Amino acid sequence: MARRRPPTRHGLVIVDKPAGMTSHDVVAMLRKRLGEKRIGHAGTLDPDATGVLLVGVGYVTRLMKLLSGLDKRYTAEVVLGVTTSTLDDSGEVTGRFDMAHVSLDDVRAAARSLTGSIMQVPPMVSALKVDGKRLHELAREGVEVERQARPVTVHHFTVEPTSEELVFLVDVSVSSGTYVRSLAADLGTALGGGAHLRKLRRHSIGPFDESESAPIDSAQLLPAIEALRLVQKISVDDETARLVANGRRLPKFEGEGPWALVNQRGALIGVYELVDGEAVPEVVLAEPVL
């Protein structure tokens, strides 16, 4: 007798990623634990970094793109006087600088100069693609390519001393696409020397906070609608739900969108956005998901 496949699971998992593990490793472990192949994450964390990682399960993988643009908050330590090939402490030392004269006030002033709307060059260790190949893959081959600076926003950038000389604790809130390791390197340059990052931790992604996160083996599967906390919820009748299932355009709802549409049972059926005065499907789920 053929074994019955377990029912598909859908939802959001808020993981507290440990150090020494890639974001892909987290996905692989959750696939095994939950028995669901369709699992993906939003907002990659470096292997050495810890903290909040959002993971979509089942149909919620299709909603992950809606979370990629959320602001993020991090803490880390910036080590002045030493630069590395990866801009963090996992790389090889590429330079040393005498920065004994740098004071806490100097570091705070440099941090202020890197706050607000700035242009940032992505590091070679990033996952951005150039001519179809990721930068970190090129970096492993010893290849460095020209990268265009991109606009990012640093909402706050605070600096506190630590017990170690020339090591400072930083707390930053940044727009999506901002590289904190590049901020650390730019901070060192602004101070007339160099720097690298260590002990990076992500505390939040948008409304998703570390207080809700848990280790991989105990993190809970939250309802699918939890992935859309910042999206206006609209309850629709059965006739409209049938139109949504067919991917039909709808009259504009109240507000400017996007809108998470739920049926009369409270199950998520799709996400619509405003286009040319109409509500247009961004994501339509193959079946309602509670």
Three-state secondary structure readout of 86-155 = CCECCCCEEEECCCCCCCHHHHHHHHHHCCEEEEECCCCCCCCEECCEEHHHHHHCCCCCCCCCEEEEEE
Q: Residue 9: its pLDDT value, please?
A: 84
* Separation CA 177–CA 168 (nearest Å): 23
* 11-70+207-227: CATH topology: Pseudouridine synthase (3.30.2350)
Residues 221, 9: contact at Cβ < 8 Å? Answer: yes
Q: Residue 215: its pLDDT value, please?
A: 97
Question: Which residues sit opposite 157 in a β-bridge?
Answer: 172
Please name which of 68, 64, 57, 69 lies closest in space to residue 12, comparing C-alpha atoms: 57
Residues 259, 231: contact at Cβ < 8 Å? Answer: yes
Averaged pLDDT, 186-204: 98
Residues 229, 96: contact at Cβ < 8 Å? Answer: no
Averaged pLDDT, 144-150: 73
**Does the pLDDT of residue 1 top 50, yes or no?**
no
Averaged pLDDT, 97-126: 92
Q: Tell me whether domains 72-205 and 231-289 share a fold.
A: no
Percent of residues, the chain, with pLDDT higher than 90: 83
Q: What 3-state DSSP class applies to 213?
A: coil
Please provide the CATH number assigned to the domain covering 72-205.
3.30.2350.10
Per-residue pLDDT tens digits for 13-48 = 999 999 999 999 999 999 999 999 999 999 889 899
The answer to whether residue 46 is catalytic is yes
Q: Give exposure, 173-189, as e/b (b: 16+ Cβ within 10 Å).
A: bbebbbbbbbbbbbbbe
Give the N- to C-terminal CA distance of the chain in Å, as an integer. 31
At 39, list the tokens: 């699992």
Q: What 3-state DSSP class applies to 183?
A: helix
Please name which of 20, 25, 14, 15 lies closest in space to residue 200, comparing C-alpha atoms: 20
Please provide the CATH number assigned to the domain covering 231-289.
2.30.130.10
Averaged pLDDT, 267-271: 96
Q: Place 144 in a pLDDT band, splitting at 50, 70 and 90.
A: low
Domain locations along the chain: 11-70+207-227, 72-205, 231-289
Per-residue pLDDT tens digits for 49-76 = 999 999 999 999 999 999 989 999 999 9
Residue that the structure tokens 């039909």 belong to: 248
At 41, list the tokens: 């994450």
Q: Which amino acid is at 4?
A: R
Catalytic residue among 46, 88, 186, 217: 46
At 70, list the tokens: 């959320």
Residue 116 φ/ψ region, left for φ over 0, alpha for ψ in the -120 to 50 degree band, beta for the rest: left
pTM over 0.75: yes
- Continuous H helices in 163-247: 180-190, 238-245
Q: Residue 2: its pLDDT value, please?
A: 46
**Does the pLDDT of residue 3 top 90, yes or no?**
no
